[in-house]
Amino acid sequence: MSAYIDQFPEEAKVIRSAFYASFFALALGAAFGLIQTLHRTDFVRIIPAEMYYTVLTAHGVLMVVTFTIFFLVAIFTWAVTTSLDRGVEDIRFTWSWYGLMTLGTAFAAIAILAGFTDRTEISADVLFTFYAPLQAHPMFYVGLVLFVIGTWLAGADWFRSWWAWKQENPDKRIPLPTFMVLTTMIMWYLATLGVATSIIAFLLPWSLGLIDTVNPTLTRTLFWFWGHPVVYFWLMPAYMMWYIMLPKFSGGRLFSDPLARVVFVLFLLLSTPVGIHHQYLDPGIAEGFKFIAMTNTMFLLLPSLLTAFTVVASMEHGARQRGGEGYFGWLGALPWRDPVFTGMALAGLMFAAGGFSGMINAGMNINYLVHNSLWVPGHFHLTVGTAVALTFMAVSYYFIPQVTGRRLASKQIALVQVVMWFVGMTFMSNAMHRGGLLGMPRRTAEPEYAGFQFETAIGTVGELNAQIALGGVLLTLSTLLFIVNMSITALNDRDDDLPSNTIPEPLSGPNEAPLVLDNLKLWTAIAVVLVIFAYSLPLASIVERGGLFGPGGDAFPMFLELADSFGFALVGETLSAMVSSLLETLRTVV
């Protein structure tokens, strides 16, 4: 019974480093968030409008790729080592995937941030979706590839631990936290095939000048093949925290281990064959395929609703053990003064609200009302921007002392911080949703137009903008409090009576879960089949209509000359000759 750092001092170092990388990205991302919030709403405009896209790309990539994924590899490493009660097999391997992820981030970030200066031609103003014909400097794509390979190796590290553990414990059930990590990673391997293909086969060669054009519908579709499951890559670690940490902090036990396993299996199966629901308005994809994606999406609501039930029931169990009574009275018995608990509970509450707008987004016909409007950022600041981000910040108040051995600088400030995030997001997100319903566009630096006024049913555009700006300021302040609190904690003196690093047993344990749930091979196979069903026809028809490399058109901006000057040209010609002869062969075979 001791703190994590005493149990696994070497692993604690890697985990710490991953947390710090993630916090660094969060801090930068929040600074950009503030700039764009104040710019859009016309309160403070410190950048020229063209630079808005550099800021927005940096905000998107740093938040949803760097911050979230570095954080989750940290807690996944914690979860596997803690629940298997064994260190990683080879700590050098662990450092090497961490190093690769860091290198990849540095590449991508340098390419994006270079967009701020005219001293170099390098830029990557392509937003986090990098849709063609927007083109980034090759360094951006290379960075993404390295980063993703880093995550693949991280997954291999955890699988390796599990295999080694299984040799020694042949008859035991996979411990729940490890089960969650493994199912999430299988989903991730499947999902990243899409984005890896898009980048390695098309976008990177295209930005290097090896191929002239790409088929934008194809690269978009491959992007969303990954782009939807990536939201579960953010959410499943948050769910893991709700399943195993929330009961711990509310003084109860997880209601049901089998139900938790069912939820993670459902996510593995259903996360990927739904990506086309982000393309309801894309021309070039038949309505029928969109309808299939919508149906799968509606099924995907199920595991989230199951989660709502299990997690709330586990909190209720805690509250009743603490003496709570009645239908609603038990809510008062929860430990609201504890920032870890309160942050997670508020994050869950916001996720419930995000569920409402998510159901709107998911409907093919209603989606038309909100597509590409400010409603959409309103929605995902509730989900990834709060359900995930606030959960991560909240559990950091537990994890950072655990992996550094230092005393948390201030629990009071931590409590203020999580509540401030909740309040700030209530303002910002609510006003964004309403703005979207009026037709205010997203991804727009200056959404005011000569001779045109958005019509409001209640309130005014000025009031909406004020709420967005106020919310953005509160969120930035909250981030600042978080970063300062964490920094002081990391430098604080040792805490000799840290709570021990344990995960309470569930009320209904793993032995009541059907054995088949642990059959990862079976679930992987079904997941693959579902993906083939959902994607083979749409992809085939996209390629048939537009060709693998598209109907033509120019990239924006062009990096061709740049790539030439690096001496890529020769390699380029050889490679593209190889690719086209390969395609010829394929064509004759098919």
The site for other proteins (CB under 8 A) is made up of 248-251, 255, 287, 308-309, 312-313, 316-317, 319-324, 326-328, 330-331, 335, 338, 340-341, 352, 356, 359-360, 364-366, 368-369, 397-398, 437, 457, 499, 507-508
How far apart are CB 42 and ligand HEM at their closest, in Å?
A: 12
How far apart are CB 446 and other proteins at their closest, in Å?
A: 26
Output 45 or 320, the one with its CB closest to other proteins: 320
How far apart are CB 127 and ligand HEM at their closest, in Å?
A: 4
Output 65 or 124, the one with its CB closest to Cu ion: 65
Inter-helix orientation angle 520-546/287-321, to 10°? 150
Which amino acids are annotated catalytic? 228, 232, 379-381, 442-443
From residue 212, give the alpha-carbon distance in Å to each of 21, 207, 246, 531, 559.
Answer: 36, 9, 52, 30, 11
Return residues touching Cu ion (CB under 5 A).
Answer: 228
How far apart are CB 238 and ligand HEM at their closest, in Å?
A: 11
Question: Would you give the end-to-end CA distance of the chain in angstroms?
Answer: 62
**HSE-up of 129 (CA within 13 Å, CB side)?**
16
Output 8 or 351, the one with its CB closest to other proteins: 351
How far apart are CB 354 and Cu ion at their closest, in Å?
A: 12
**DSSP structure class, residue 363:** S
Output 312 or 445, the one with its CB closest to other proteins: 312
Place of tokens 């309103």: 378
Name the residue whose CB lies closest to ligand HEM.
Answer: 33
Residue 228 contact, options Cu ion, ligand HEM, other proteins, none, Cβ 5-8 Å cut-off depending on partner type: Cu ion
**DSSP structure class, residue 500:** P
Output 229 or 324, the one with its CB closest to other proteins: 324
Q: Is the dihedral of CA 303, 279, 193, 106 positive or negative?
A: negative
Query: Contact at 8 Å (CB) between 139 and 111?
Result: yes
Q: Is the dihedral of CA 445, 66, 192, 349 positive or negative?
A: negative
**HSE-up of 89 (CA within 13 Å, CB side)?**
14
Output 505 or 554, the one with its CB closest to other proteins: 505
Query: Contact at 8 Å (CB) between 405 and 498?
Result: yes
How far apart are CB 476 and ligand HEM at their closest, in Å?
A: 5
Output 219 or 417, the one with its CB closest to other proteins: 417
How far apart are CB 469 and ligand HEM at their closest, in Å?
A: 9
Return residues touching ligand HEM (CB under 6 A).
Answer: 30, 33-34, 36-37, 40, 56, 59-60, 63-64, 67-68, 127-128, 377, 381, 384-385, 389, 442-444, 472, 475-476, 479
Place of tokens 């600042």: 480
How far apart are CB 372 and ligand HEM at their closest, in Å?
A: 9
- Spatial separation of the C-alpha atoms in residues 250 and 259, rounded to whole Å: 19
Output 485 or 501, the one with its CB closest to ligand HEM: 485
- Spatial separation of the C-alpha atoms in residues 525 and 545, rounded to whole Å: 30
Residue 369 contact, options other proteins, ligand HEM, Cu ion, none, Cβ 5-8 Å cut-off depending on partner type: other proteins
Other Cβ atoms less than 10 A from the Cβ of 82: the count is 22
Place of tokens 């916090």: 23
From residue 241, give the alpha-carbon distance in Å to each of 174, 260, 333.
Answer: 18, 12, 21
Count Cβ neighbours within 10 Å for each residue of 164-201 and write b for 16 or more, e otherwise: ebeeeeeeebbbbbbbbbbbbbbbbebbbebbbbbbeb
**HSE-up of 271 (CA within 13 Å, CB side)?**
30
Residue 537 contact, options ligand HEM, other proteins, Cu ion, none, Cβ 5-8 Å cut-off depending on partner type: none
- Spatial separation of the C-alpha atoms in residues 232 and 187, rounded to whole Å: 9
How far apart are CB 290 and Cu ion at their closest, in Å?
A: 13
How far apart are CB 228 and Cu ion at their closest, in Å?
A: 4
Q: Which of 105, 109, 104 is nearest to 124 (CA)?
A: 109
Q: Which of 199, 195, 252 is nearest to 227 (CA)?
A: 195
Q: Which of 359, 356, 364 is nearest to 299 (CA)?
A: 359
Q: Which amino acid, 556?
A: F
Output 114 or 231, the one with its CB closest to Cu ion: 231
Output 37 or 279, the one with its CB closest to Cu ion: 279
Q: What totals of helices (H) and strands (E) does the chain contain, helices first?
A: 21, 0
- Spatial separation of the C-alpha atoms in residues 354 and 231, rounded to whole Å: 13
E-assigned strand segments in 143-279: none
Q: Is the dihedral of CA 553, 559, 562, 568 positive or negative?
A: negative
